[in-house]
Structure 1
Amino acid sequence: MDSLELRPLDITDAYMTYLFPFSFREKDRQKLMEQLEKHHFTFFTLGKQELQDKYYGDNIRIVHEELDQFFLPFIEDKLFPAKTDNRGFLRYSKVIEESFIYEVNDNKTIIIINSVDIILCPFGIGIITIRAAMDQDQETLTNILDHIAHFRVLEPKLAFDKGSKIHHKNKVFQTTNKLVFDYICQPLKPFIIHDEKLAGYYGSLPYFEDERMHSSVFLIANDKSEISEDQLFRLAHLDGKDINGNEFISSSNSDYVKRYVHERIHDRWAPHTYTITSEHTQATLSVKKKEQLEQKISQFMSVNYYNLMLHYYYKIMLLKVSFEHSEVSWAKDKKYVEELIELISKFDSRYYFEEVSTRTEGKEITQKLREVFRLQNLFNEVKQTLDDLYRAQDNQSDKRHNSLLFMLTIFTVVSGIYGMNLVIEDWKGKTDWAKVPGYSFFEWIALITSLSGIGLAVALIGYTGGKRIYDRYRKWKRDRF
């Protein structure tokens, strides 16, 4: 087994995109859109040609026609809706173009945050996207990875994640969370759901407890350099520095590193450009000159970004459904079980597709994303969940029908014995209740059967009406809180 050697690499340009999911109430969607527009967020559509070079940094221009042609028509219609009232992914973007100094492990990285997206996805899920770029002539791969690994942590909880600061003008942000929600995405903060306990299929995202953003990076190294497997492995794991500030790689086994890289690498443009995909990041590393990479950088900001965002959304939704299935109280949440069935069915039929791109390279990247995010396994679990929910609903429905049928059968049998005539002569006209104690055995049966039947009818009507009112109250309370 070969020993691992960490090869140094100088980075001349770095473009970083961070994605973070959140949950919001569907009933507040219109109000949220109004707030975003009030705070100078612009609704993104492919028809607005003036937006092609607005959000991505100096001399970077994306081509809307390429976005239009990259995705299959049934996906394109949902990713790029022409109006805000259309069903799909509503993207609101805002130019930031401000410089920040990120300090961690005695190293300061100067970055420019070019823009931020807030994408309102179907079913109350949203995604924040932050686009940043390195604003210095050169930096080591180790320091860049250390910066990305720490910046993506919104709320540091582990000792390794703590100790960073973000300097901006005369302000100091102690966490990325403060920067995002108290500065660049401030209008979003009141709309995010933070409830620990889910209500129905709306709620927070408890399966993202570490609160780390998913990152996508495009790094350009010195054109005289060579790309090695240890560098690609460190990129995939964002291995910068350890807790003592020393350069590190999270493996001591060179064979493992080779296998890992081989399984996750996209090497169509080797040996000068590689893309590697992991659970934490999708990273492209190139040793070509920046002037030769204009199209690649444009694609990184456009088609690759949307491809990643869409599959990231798939992962979130599949995890969300699996989690909420485990939280359902079968005895009490019959209505929510129905909502969960409806949610799964709509997501499957309207938004979840294995094929999303028309291009060969797009299909190759899509396959890597699906494998790394384990989408097929998660989808199989969700399909099993749907089968379980249908089966449980059928069983409960059968039990209710059997109980009702049993009661109705009793009344039918008794009524049949009496020839469908349960009327006693004393009940005609004004009923003399004083005669009831003197009833015969069969008259007592008739009396009890009649009163029980009337009571059962009233109870059924009251239960049905009360259930509808209670369901509406629960929905109102769920959406309100």
Structure 2
Amino acid sequence: MMIKEKQVSQAFFQFILPFSWKAATIRNFILFLQKNQFTPYRLHELHNESTYYGGYQVSHSEMKAFFHPLTSQILFPSSGYEKGFQRYTKVINVESLLNIDHLKVPFQIHSIDLIICPYELGFITVRTEIKDTSLSNAIDFANHFNRKDYEDLLPDLGPFIDLDSPPPFLEPDKMHIQSLLHLANEESIDEIDVFRSVTLCGEDAGNHEYIHNYVKDHSYSRWAPNTFICVNEHCFTCITNSSTQKLMAEAKNFYGENYYLQLINLFNKLVFVKIAHNYSTIHIEKDYNEIEKLIYFINSFSSNFFFIEYPAKPDGQELFRLFRRAYDIDSLYLNTKETLFSLFKYEENSVTKKDSMLLLVLTLYTVICGIFSMNLFTKDLEGKIHWSHFKSYNPFEYFAVFIVFSGIIVVGILGFQSLYQVIQERKNKKQWDEQAVISPQIPKKSN
């Protein structure tokens, strides 16, 4: 296909990099953010509606109303002591230059988010903007904005996260890119433009039928032909030729509701992939504690964070479904349900075997003690014990003595093990809560 170059008056990008934080350092991590002028993001602070977006504005009240109440509580906790996405944002407002081979692209960095999520996951988001360039240059810019830019903006993160060695369930160098492209002079939007913007395809166009089917499967064209939204596994793009006034509304959705739609679905995907990875590393015959942890992990996530409710607005519902399809959320959810069923079945069989063995041991001790001990030597234990009588016992009486006292020891050991298990389970549950259900708490300032 022939590519007709389009001019872009403004291109907004949010580069989202998932990471895993270290549980042992979380309090120092938050102190580090506060020390480096990262501010907790709270919806009741209305003065921040236009602070982080390069002159554009979001509506906190509309964002909260866009999601169902349970989802809003997770996405927008009102304090650092509530479970959910703890977002810390810092204003940057610096001009920079990206060298792409022989091309230089000036851009501006508006702000940066660092979002700490449950399950030791998080996101780094960098908001950038470029002006008056071609669509190809905008695509090249998105393609070449790499992790080094994050490291320059966020030095000294090593003790808290590891960008160079991400966990196996996170793909290295896989940023998730959100873009809003405003074509200049109300130029028309072709399918090839939508395809290139979401696939970050440079000059290769492919055949028309493939591009048509791809755009049809991945896009939301409610506002066509002036605005197209397209989503795939790594990119979300909105390309529009609407007026400057309408661009304000597009930017509000881009930085507001659509940003959080992508975050919540990306978080769901990462948790499901993490569950699958943890399940694959379990030695089923040895790691009983890991099985318990994974069962708790799945149940706590399902009950606290995974909501199948769509946003209230019709367009939000359709976008939500588009993200779920792009991230394959439904298949990952079914796989997780099967994993949970397998773990429950194994745990049930394991507990049944242990209970059967314990019942067999106790039954044997009870029967043998009843047959031997009650009739052979218990009279020698009445009143003052005459130890000399034990010297005259026959083999059956010695066996009875062994059964009684070994039974007492076995019962004592089992009782101690049960008590230890209860204490250990409470300790584990508290630790799992801190990693999963309970959000990282803001350290209290010392007087």
**TM-score, scaled to structure 2:** 0.89
| Counterpart position of 2:167 | 205
| Contact 2:98–2:105 (Cα < 8 Å) also in 1 | yes
Question: Aligned partners of 1:333 and 1:195: how far apart in 2?
Answer: 29
| Contact 1:11–1:140 (Cα < 8 Å) also in 2 | yes
Amino-acid identity (%): 29
Question: Aligned partners of 1:195 and 1:117: how far apart in 2?
Answer: 19
- By relative contact order (CA 8 Å, sep 6+), the higher-ranking structure is 2
| Counterpart position of 1:47 | 44
Amino acid at match of 1:62: V
| Contact 1:22–1:125 (Cα < 8 Å) also in 2 | yes
| Counterpart position of 2:295 | 341
Query: CA deviation digits over 1:264-285, x for unaligned, max 9?
Result: 1111111111111111100011
| Contact 1:236–1:283 (Cα < 8 Å) also in 2 | yes
| Contact 1:233–1:260 (Cα < 8 Å) also in 2 | yes
Question: Aligned partners of 2:28 and 2:307: how far apart in 1?
Answer: 30
Amino acid at match of 1:382: T
Query: Cα offset for 1:212?
Result: 1.5
Matched, 1:384 2:347: no
Amino acid at match of 1:81: P
Query: CA deviation digits over 1:220-259, x for unaligned, max 9?
Result: 112342211122111221112xxxxxx223xx33212111
Matched, 1:191 2:179: no
SS at match of 2:230: strand
Query: Cα offset for 1:443?
Result: 1.0
Question: Aligned partners of 1:355 and 1:476: how far apart in 2?
Answer: 29
Query: CA deviation digits over 1:10-66, x for unaligned, max 9?
Result: 222100001111122445433322221121111111111110111000x31112121
| Counterpart position of 2:75 | 79
| Counterpart position of 1:218 | 180
Query: CA deviation digits over 1:295-352, x for unaligned, max 9?
Result: 1111111111111111111111111111111112222321221121111111111211
| Counterpart position of 1:121 | 117
SS at match of 1:186: coil
Question: Aligned partners of 1:355 and 1:133: how far apart in 2?
Answer: 33
| Contact 1:277–1:369 (Cα < 8 Å) also in 2 | yes
SS at match of 1:305: helix
| Counterpart position of 2:399 | 445
Question: Aligned partners of 1:32 and 1:422: how far apart in 2?
Answer: 69
Distance 1:293 1:127, change over 3 A: same
Structure 1: gaps spanning 5 or more residues: 155-175, 197-203, 241-246
| Counterpart position of 1:363 | 317
Query: Cα offset for 1:452?
Result: 2.4
Distance 1:392 1:68, change over 3 A: same
| Counterpart position of 1:141 | 135
Question: Aligned partners of 1:194 and 1:9: how far apart in 2?
Answer: 36
| Contact 2:186–2:243 (Cα < 8 Å) also in 1 | no
Structure 2: gaps spanning 5 or more residues: 436-447
Matched, 1:239 2:219: no
Query: Cα offset for 1:379?
Result: 0.4
Amino acid at match of 2:35: K
Distance 1:474 1:431, change over 3 A: farther
Question: Aligned partners of 1:42 and 1:266: how far apart in 2?
Answer: 34
Query: Cα offset for 1:425?
Result: 5.9
RMSD: 2.7
| Counterpart position of 1:5 | 2
Q: How many residues align?
A: 432
Amino acid at match of 2:308: E
Distance 1:465 1:18, change over 3 A: same
Amino acid at match of 2:160: F
Distance 1:426 1:113, change over 3 A: same
Amino acid at match of 2:65: Q
Amino acid at match of 2:12: Y
| Counterpart position of 1:326 | 280
SS at match of 1:52: helix
Matched, 1:429 2:385: yes
SS at match of 1:231: helix
| Contact 2:25–2:159 (Cα < 8 Å) also in 1 | no
Question: Aligned partners of 2:357 and 2:344: how far apart in 1?
Answer: 20
Distance 1:98 1:421, change over 3 A: farther
The residue correspondences of 1:289-328 to structure 2 (distance < 5 A) are 289-328=243-282
| Counterpart position of 1:170 | none
SS at match of 1:220: strand
Query: CA deviation digits over 1:153-200, x for unaligned, max 9?
Result: 43xxxxxxxxxxxxxxxxxxxxx2xx313x32235432115797xxxx
Query: Cα offset for 1:206?
Result: 1.2
Query: Cα offset for 1:475?
Result: 9.8
**TM-score, scaled to structure 1:** 0.83
Matched, 1:286 2:240: yes
| Counterpart position of 2:58 | 62
| Contact 2:19–2:170 (Cα < 8 Å) also in 1 | no
SS at match of 2:50: coil
Question: Aligned partners of 2:31 and 2:117: how far apart in 1?
Answer: 16
Match for 2:98 among 95, 99, 102? 102
Question: Aligned partners of 1:379 and 1:322: how far apart in 2?
Answer: 10
| Counterpart position of 2:150 | 180
Amino acid at match of 1:130: V
Question: Aligned partners of 2:116 and 2:159: how far apart in 1?
Answer: 15
Amino acid at match of 2:154: C
